[in-house]
Amino acid sequence: MADTSILRATVTRIDGGITAPLGFTSAALHCGIKAKPGALDLTIVAAERRASAAGLFTTNLAQAAPVLLSKRHLQQTTGLARAIVVNSGCANACTGSQGLADAETMAREAAAAIGCAVEDVLVASTGVIGVNLPMGKVASGIRSAGTQLARGRGSDTARALMTTDPFPKEDAVRVETAGGAFSIGGTAKGSGMIEPNMATMIGLLTTDAQVPPAILRRALEESARDTFNAITVDGECSTNDTLFAMASGASGVAIDEDSYPALLEGLLAVSRRLAVDIVRGGEGATKVIRVTVQDARSSDDARRIARTIANSPLVKTAVHGADPNWGRIVAAAGRSGVQFDIDRATVHVGGVRLFENGLPHDDAAPRAAEHMQGTDVDIHVHLGTGGGVEATIWTCDLSAEYVRINGEYRT
């Protein structure tokens, strides 16, 4: 029988972000993509030696050049990489053959800067669609960043990813098990065009655990399912959505089937913090909404109903106005396409019962409205099917500021 002691892990938050794990350095600078002087718009995250790597990408059929290139490189190396280079302010999407050539140049310059093969470099871009990169500035910036790589600069990388994000997002944890301790760090960006169905617009995760590429890929998929894949700001899937993970092995702690749960627990802790921060920083957002659907017949059913509610403009605007309009919640659940009996369903907002067994409880509305005045709003829908399965999706309210931001995005 396998030793189950290593399955028990203690997860503690630590400082350092993306370079908290051993074996990773980063650098970030302003290369001139963003118009604002000094605004960080380029970053490199590098491993000291070739590391296990995995990536999840947008399901949008209009995929940006860096997405296509990074997919190719991961296939060529069978899940290995040395560096990730990211620019913000320009998505390099819908830019044709020139865009792909520019992404290849970014990889080539980063490879030369750190001394590795071109296919060992992964590339990501975020920003305005349909605009070519100023490659003279980008190439020069990559060369400069390559000379500045160091630990302790994770916060700069977090800021360099930002576009319309109101604040940078980073996190790190230390995972202690009977087999030793390892760290996981991460950073992400995303504020609009967020319903990725894979990850967020850009997410970077690192660990100093020793993880085979196949296990790292599995853990990334599994952790993203209930974190980065469980958020939505506006129901829009970007051309550039990318989530990368790299494992340096520098801690000496090897991950196998027995210790896999500890790796997953750490990835979930970092990914959930980053994912919820993306929602909290959604364009024009003033509230985070947690939609939990309970007693579904399957995980897919629970997620489908929760996502339909979370993406409803009527629900999101009601939350913005602190209006406990349970009818909008029930209507969204009913149009999700998932079968359930409305006469057995229950809706709570902030723990306040507003609808039960086909009948309203409007006398409780003032207490629910008081809860909705806060910055964190909980919506619970119990389907009453007897299935016993639940899922949670995080979203934010929909405000006039969201309309203003996106109405002026290019102008």
Query: How far does Cα 384 stand from its chain's mean position?
Result: 31
The residues near 364 (Cβ < 8 Å, ≥ 6 apart) are: 352, 353, 354
The residues near 76 (Cβ < 8 Å, ≥ 6 apart) are: 119
At 365 the three-state DSSP class reads helix
Residues 184 and 271: their CA atoms lie apart, in Å, by 10
Query: How far does Cα 304 stand from its chain's mean position?
Result: 19
Show the tokens assigned to 147.
């000379």
Q: Give helix then strand counts, H and E, for the chain.
A: 11, 15
Which H, E and C letters describe 55-91, residue by residue? EEECCCCCCCHHHHHHHHHHHHHCCEEEEEEEEEEEC
Show the tokens assigned to 402.
């969201």
356, exposed or middle or buried, with CB in 10 Å at 0-12, 13-18, 19+? middle
Please pick, among 177, 187, 200, 232, the residue that the annotation labels catalytic.
200
Task: State yes or no: is 227 an active-site residue.
Answer: no
Strand ranges for 116-213 from DSSP E: 121-128, 169-177, 180-189, 202-207
Query: What residues are paired with 42 via a beta bridge?
Result: 29, 87
Catalytic residue numbers, as ranges: 200
